[in-house]
Amino acid sequence: MRRALGCVAMDDPFARFAAWYADAEKAIPEDPNAAVLSTVGPDGAPSARVVLLKGFDAQGFVFYTNFRSRKGRELAGNPAAALTFHFRPLGRQVRIEGRADPVSAAEADAYFATRPRGAQVGAWASDQSAPLAGRPALEARVAEVDARYRGQAVPRPPHWGGYRLVPRCIEFWTGRESRLHERELFERASPDGPWTVQLLFP
C-alpha cells in the first residue's frame, strides 16, 4: 500500500530506482547505466570514477572490475562505497551509500561469459591502474592472450569479478526551479532492516 508524505510517495526504494532507471533507458541513448563510484583509500582520501551498473535487485547494485585496480584495492581495504547516478535529461539524481561485497564466483562467471571477446581478452591483458610503459606493451599483451585462447572460450581471470553495493541509504533527487529541489532519503540500520524515509531541504 502506498503512503504519502506531503506530495512524495513512500515506496520501496528499489522499486523506485527500477522505475527511474526504466525512464532513463528511454531518455538516455548511450550508457544510462553509467554511475560515479566513490571509494576510500588507506589514507582516508576519496577517489571516484565512472563505472557501469550491470544489475540490480533488492539485494543491491552490481558492477564489475579488476580486483587489482585502484578501486579494487581500496574496496578490499575498506568496503564503504557510494554510487551516484545523474539522469540529466530527466532532471534526476540518485545517490546510494553502503557496503560493497564481492559477488559469488558463479555470478561473476555468468556475467563474464556475456562480455565481448575483446573485453574478455582485455581483462587478462590489462594490469588495471598499474603504470604502463607505452601502448605497444599493452597491445603485445593483448596479442599474447588472444593467441593463448584462440579457438576456445576465454575463462574469467581470478583477479576479475564483481561487487554488489548493499545500500544503507538511497537518496532520490528531483530538480526544481529556483534550486528548490526535491530530496527524499531512504535509510536503514541493517541490510535486512526496515526503511525509514524523510524529506531533506534542497
Cα-Cα-Cα-Cα dihedral sign, residues 148, 153, 156, 162: positive
Q: Which one of the listed residues 2, 135, 150, 179 is annotated catalytic?
A: 179
Kindly state the cell numbers that stand for 8.
512524495
Report the C-alpha gap between 4 and 184 in whole angstroms. 12
Contact status, residue 172 vs residue 183, Cβ threshold 8 Å: yes
C-alpha count within 13 angstroms, C-beta hemisphere, residue 13: 25
Per the annotation, the verdict on 179 as an active-site residue is yes
- Among 182, 200, 197, smallest CA distance to 10 is for 197
Enter the DSSP assignment of 141.
Answer: H
Amino acid identity of residue 139, one-letter, is E
Q: What is the torsion angle, in degrees rounded to the nearest 10, for the CA atoms of residue 46, residue 129, residue 165 and residue 14?
A: 100
Location of C-alpha cell 591483458:
125
Active site residues: 179
